């Protein structure tokens, strides 16, 4: 899909906590122009510097943007996307988790495809610089054949009755939490690094009685050629980093010719098999905002695709795979068994 107009005209929907990273990114993008914003509480848009609306349909009719950026919780996704489709919007970015269920997401993806509308799910972790760097190292064969990938989620923000209330209080009410809200980032990242998983086994638990959903657990994935990926998540525990939210944990990617490591500061190191010394491949991140500026990387990726016709990652139809894997994870945890994904 290519849109000829450069710069791309963008409108945003939403003004919650995470929207700050979206707006900041659009403001410094040379090939995109923010033309309007919409939010139920229009007062939150006072400092955005663009026309503000409380009604999505009105904003779209007046400005007809090339791209709508939806920065709302899942319960609002379907209605917003259908409104955009009805108004002739041809391209949409939608925050994750995408819609309220796999069935709803499938329906929305099908409706968009039938209308010729492109939806990209705002799954930004694969765009973090350390994972892009690790992917290039794997493509170059730096550590040979990958046998194991482990990520240890340790944000240290889940203890006590006030957990999450200061930043994203709705976390406490999510009946599906660790996987649906958080681990899906690494479901997608593992897909990006190793390809689609073949099977999954999950052991989930809730440690904090103040929340509704699970906040710790292990998820084991089987990939092609015998590789295994382990997500080891515990929101109660921390890791060695000044900014716990930079990487939210630590990772190892181990191959038969060496190891790649991700530290909590965003640095990536390499150790050759049989060696005791390491070499730094990527220095520590100096970005003060979220996730190594991955929001800007994702949004720039979408703008380039829409203007230049380059391939898009994480379209809605592709992202349905992540949601199917998520459902399998919860089913595996309920049933206490490994599930093959080919038959899901």
Residues 277 and 143 in one domain: yes
Q: What is the pLDDT of residues 41-60, one digit of tens each?
A: 999 999 999 999 999 999 99
Residue 210 within any structural domain of the chain: yes
Indicate which CATH number applies to the domain containing 185: 3.30.360.10
Domain of residue 205, residue span: 126-282+323-340
Q: Is 70 exceeded by the pLDDT of residue 343?
A: no
Residues 306 and 273 in one domain: no
The two structure tokens encoding residue 163: 């957990």
Residues 40 and 171 in one domain: no
Classified as helix, coil or strand, 38 is strand
pTM, entire model: 0.94
Residue 3 within any structural domain of the chain: no
Tokens 């999954």 appear where?
Answer: 200
Q: What residues contact 175, with CB distance under 8 A and at least 6 apart?
A: 212, 213
The whole-chain average pLDDT of the chain stands at 96
Range 298-319 average pLDDT? 97
Nearest in space to 311 (alpha carbons), one of 26, 131, 118, 99: 118
Total domains in the chain come to 2
**CB–CB of 154/248 below 8 Å?**
yes
Residues 132 and 277 in one domain: yes
Residue 288 within any structural domain of the chain: no
Nearest in space to 35 (alpha carbons), one of 7, 13, 65: 65
Residues 209 and 333 in one domain: yes
Residue 139 within any structural domain of the chain: yes
Residues 333 and 186 in one domain: yes
Residue 290 within any structural domain of the chain: no
β-sheet bridge partners, residue 146: 255
Indicate which CATH number applies to the domain containing 46: 3.40.50.720
Residue 241 within any structural domain of the chain: yes
pLDDT at 5: 77
pLDDT at 16: 92
Q: Is 60 exceeded by the pLDDT of residue 245?
A: yes
Residues 227 and 244 in one domain: yes
Q: Classify each residue of 140-155 as buried b or exposed e, where b means 16 or more C-beta atoms within 10 Å of its C-beta.
A: eebbeebeebebbbbb
Q: What is the pLDDT of residues 120-166, one digit of tens each?
A: 999 999 999 999 999 999 999 999 999 999 999 999 999 999 999 99
Cβ-in-10-Å burial (0-12, 13-18, 19+) of 321 comes to: middle
Residues 51 and 101 in one domain: yes
Is residue 344 very low, low, confident or very high in pLDDT (cuts 50, 70, 90)?
very low
Residues 101 and 221 in one domain: no
Is residue 1 very low, low, confident or very high in pLDDT (cuts 50, 70, 90)?
low
Residues 300 and 330 in one domain: no
**CB–CB of 23/38 below 8 Å?**
no
With pLDDT > 90 as the criterion, what percentage of the chain qualifies?
A: 96
Residues 60 and 31 in one domain: yes
Residue 1 within any structural domain of the chain: no
Residues 327 and 309 in one domain: no
């Amino acid at each position: 899909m290519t849109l000829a107009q450069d710069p791309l005209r963008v409108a945003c929907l939403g003004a919650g906590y995470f929207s700050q990273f979206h707006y900041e990114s659009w403001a410094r993008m040379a090939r995109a122009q923010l033309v309007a914003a919409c939010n139920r509480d229009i007062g939150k848009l006072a400092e955005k510097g663009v026309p503000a609306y409380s009604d999505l349909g009105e904003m779209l009719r007046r400005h007809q943007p090339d791209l709508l950026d939806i920065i709302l919780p899942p319960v609002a996704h379907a209605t917003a996307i259908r409104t955009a489709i009805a108004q002739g919007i041809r391209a949409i970015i939608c925050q994750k988790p995408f819609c309220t269920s796999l069935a709803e997401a499938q329906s929305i993806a099908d409706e968009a495809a039938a209308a010729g509308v492109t939806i990209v799910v705002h799954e930004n972790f694969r765009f973090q610089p350390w994972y892009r760097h690790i992917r290039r190292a794997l493509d170059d064969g730096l550590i040979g054949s990958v046998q194991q990938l482990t990520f240890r989620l340790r944000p240290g923000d889940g203890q006590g009755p006030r957990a999450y209330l200061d930043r994203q209080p709705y976390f406490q009410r999510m009946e599906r939490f660790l996987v649906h809200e958080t681990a899906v980032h690494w479901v997608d990242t593992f897909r990006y690094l190793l390809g689609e998983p073949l099977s999954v086994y999950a052991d989930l638990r809730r440690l904090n009685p103040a929340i509704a959903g699970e906040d710790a657990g292990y998820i084991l994935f089987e990939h092609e050629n015998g590789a295994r990926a382990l997500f080891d998540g515990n929101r109660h525990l921390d890791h060695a980093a000044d900014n716990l939210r930079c990487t939210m944990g630590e990772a190892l990617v181990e191959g038969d010719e060496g190891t790649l490591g991700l530290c909590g500061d965003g640095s990536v190191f390499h150790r050759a098999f049989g060696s005791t010394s390491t070499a730094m491949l990527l220095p520590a991140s100096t970005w003060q905002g979220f996730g190594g500026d991955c929001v800007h990387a994702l949004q720039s990726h979408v703008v380039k695709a829409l203007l230049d016709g380059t391939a898009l990652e994480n379209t809605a139809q592709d992202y349905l795979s992540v949601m199917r894997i998520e459902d399998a994870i919860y089913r595996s945890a309920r049933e206490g068994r490994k599930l093959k994904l080919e038959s899901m």
